[in-house]
Amino acid sequence: MVAVSITIVIIAIGAYAMGGVPNSGEGKLKVVATFYPLAYITQEIGGDRVSVRSLIPYNSEVHSWQPSVADMLAIEEADAVVFNGAGLESWLNNLLGSVNVTGKVLVDTTAGLDLLHIEESEGDDHGHAHEGDLDPHTWVSPYMAERQAERVYLVLVDLDPTNAAYYRQRWESLRDRLSSLDNAYQSGLANKTKPGIIVSHGAFGYLAHRYGFEQYSVIGISADRQPSVQDLTSLVSKMIESNISVLYVDPAYSDAYIVTLRSELERQTGMDVKILKLYLGLGPSDGKDYIGQLESNLESLKDGLVKG
């Protein structure tokens, strides 16, 4: 497949359409989002004026997913393609190189945002990051998600100015929910008694960075490596040193290593160790949508950082 350079939408000016503004105002805007959080955001802002498709099936591994012919056809028919950026969708350049992108707006929702390098995002060296790599897991933070959502809003208005007031009302409602949630995180985690959290997948760096704690992960940011015995031993030592008795796992991933850590910590210290869910937001889960999962994450973090 031939690689294509992805056009970044310049939000301050408006969407750049390759070949002109798509959609003549007849019917709904067709938007393809790469995965659930962006599909959720787009639907919340677009309401019944947009038709949104998520490329990656809900609660699937994002990093290693590969598109099908049906996905290519969906992009062919779309007015806009909304993606996370920051290196998350490593397959996207090849996918766009295999379809006709003329007349489509390609929306990089993290373009221009203050992104973390992986070495900043990890609390230790378990991620084995290469210098210059970016942490793409922005959407887990309500603060970053609000900024990504604003880019989606501005693009919808640019593509469909007739419905600008409708999009603005829905955007402001979503913005207020995310902003209130950001404030709740700041106040709820202000009186931390623990320095950090132990997670199965190192995808919570933006939460740690904004709300003032460290994350120590079992399998790092990439979620595709196996920890060594030395890695696990180091984490147990960190837990004992910091008196950490709460472990976190995303339900989309295996909890095997977290269970091993709990067993070893209980064996060495005799303390009662809890395992709590910390959602990565890759799809509806446990009856919670994207916002519901961000709300649940705050309560789980309070349990480990403030109460634990």
Q: What is the 3-state secondary structure (H, E, C) of 239-289?
A: HHHHCCCEEEECCCCCCHHHHHHHHHHHHHHCCCCEEEECCCCCCCECCEC
Same domain, 158 and 196: no
Same domain, 133 and 239: no
pLDDT tens figures, 61-91 = 887 788 999 999 999 999 999 999 999 998 9
Q: Domain end: 125, 153, 184, which one?
A: 184
Give the 3-state secondary structure of 187-253. HHCCCCCCCEEEECCCCCHHHHHHHCCEEEECCCCCCCCCCCHHHHHHHHHHHHHHCCCEEEECCCC
Place of tokens 């709460």: 246
Same domain, 47 and 123: yes
20: in domain: no
7: in domain: no
pLDDT tens figures, 22-48 = 444 458 999 999 999 999 999 999 999
pLDDT tens figures, 140-196 = 999 999 999 999 999 999 999 999 999 999 999 999 999 999 999 999 999 999 999
Residues contacting residue 34 through CB under 8 Å, at least 6 positions apart: 54, 55, 56, 81, 82, 83, 84, 88, 89, 92
Same domain, 75 and 180: yes
Same domain, 167 and 291: no
More confident residue, 146 or 129: 146
Q: Domain end: 157, 184, 211, which one?
A: 184
16: in domain: no
Same domain, 246 and 147: no
Query: How far is it, in rounded angstroms, from Cα 208 to Cα 206?
Result: 5
Lowest mean pLDDT among 111-125, 136-150, 232-246: 111-125
Same domain, 57 and 157: yes
247: in domain: yes
Same domain, 195 and 243: yes
Tokens at 143, concatenated: 């603060």
A 10 A CB-CB count for 101 gives 20
Please count the structural domains in the chain: 2
Same domain, 179 and 294: no
Same domain, 176 and 44: yes
259: in domain: yes
The model's confidence at residue 11, banded by pLDDT at 50, 70 and 90, is very low
Q: What are the DSSP calls for 17-79, one per residue?
A: -TTS----SSSPEEEEESSHHHHHHHHHHHGGGEEEEESSPTT--STT----HHHHHHHHH-S
List the one residue out of 255, 263, 251, 235 whose CA is nearest residue 293.
251
15: in domain: no
User: How far is CA 227 from each of CA 87, 130, 183, 241, rounded to the nearest angstrom?
Assistant: 23, 17, 35, 20
The model's confidence at residue 128, banded by pLDDT at 50, 70 and 90, is very low
Same domain, 99 and 245: no
Place of tokens 């373009």: 111
Place of tokens 């290469």: 130
Same domain, 112 and 255: no
211: in domain: yes
Domain containing 127 equals 29-184
Mean pLDDT of the chain, nearest integer: 86
**Tell me, what CATH number does 36's domain have?**
3.40.50.1980
253: in domain: yes
Query: How far is it, in rounded angstroms, from Cα 81 to Cα 155?
Result: 10
Q: What is the pLDDT of residue 224?
A: 57
Q: Domain end: 184, 208, 234, which one?
A: 184
